[in-house]
Amino acid sequence: MTQRMTLISSPFFIPEIQLQKAGGFAPLFGNDQPLALEIGCGIGDFIVQIAARHPERNFIAIDIFNQGCRQTCSRIEAAGLENILMMRIEARYLMYQYLGENSLAAIYINCPDPWPKKRQRKRRLLNSSFLDLALYCLTDGGEFNFCTDFQDYGEAAGTLLSQDPRLSTRADTPYSHDLEDYPTSKYMRRFLDQGQPIYLCRYRKEAGLQIPKPQLDKGFRMRWVEENA
């Protein structure tokens, strides 16, 4: 389905060509603070909360939906934050093409599309190949945060992450329903208010790892790039 594209004139919205010309995110932020990435920021509830708590970090919010990008920019402006930039770009493409090795202090993935039908599950973002890319991009001790309202996805994510020796966690279980200090988006609160649990996985990359640059297949990543070039 074709999206209705609206012009986003916010100074916090960064087209890909602007990132190319800048040669990286540090010139765009005007400093070299550690970078954190939220993949699929929706309308910006989470990113505004986490960025306000951590002014010592810069945050990149990304989404592929034009309307969500526009609303996120409005929330950033309303919050008066200077440590968030917004991009409409596919996650794997951004990470592989522009971020790279040891570039991120944290990754946040909140309630991504669960692709609930069994035949669709190969389309889920979180799988072993994406995890390889995430760990390549994370710094030593970098945070990998994933949450979902979908039970099967939460359990599968907990299994994948807890069994990877490159990751560690302070939790006693692969995932938790106790969000503790983790910010909640409007979408997440809707499920919590209905008594439905959120499956939260919080892990850190072990130090001293040598992770080779992953090889990415074309798949969705390249189709998205070609269609939106």
State CA 114 to chain mean position distance.
Answer: 15
Q: What string of DSSP letters covers 74-141?
A: HHHHHHT-SSEEEEE--HHHHIIIII-TT-EEEEEEES-----SGGGGGG-S-SHHHHHHHHHHEEEE
Nearest to 26 by CA among 79, 103, 97: 103
Residue 193 catalytic? no
Beta bridge partners of 63: 88
C-alpha closest to that of 68 among 37, 52, 98, 45 = 45
**Which residues touch 5 (CB under 8 Å, ≥6 apart)?**
66
Strand 199-205 versus strand 167-168 pairing type: antiparallel
Q: How many whole angstroms separate alpha carbon 5 and alpha carbon 55?
A: 31
Q: How many CA atoms lie within 13 A of 78 on its CB side?
A: 12
Catalytic site residue from 32, 113, 140, 149: 113
User: Which token pair is 152?
Assistant: 């099967």
Q: Would you please indicate which residues are annotated as catalytic (active-site) residues?
A: 113
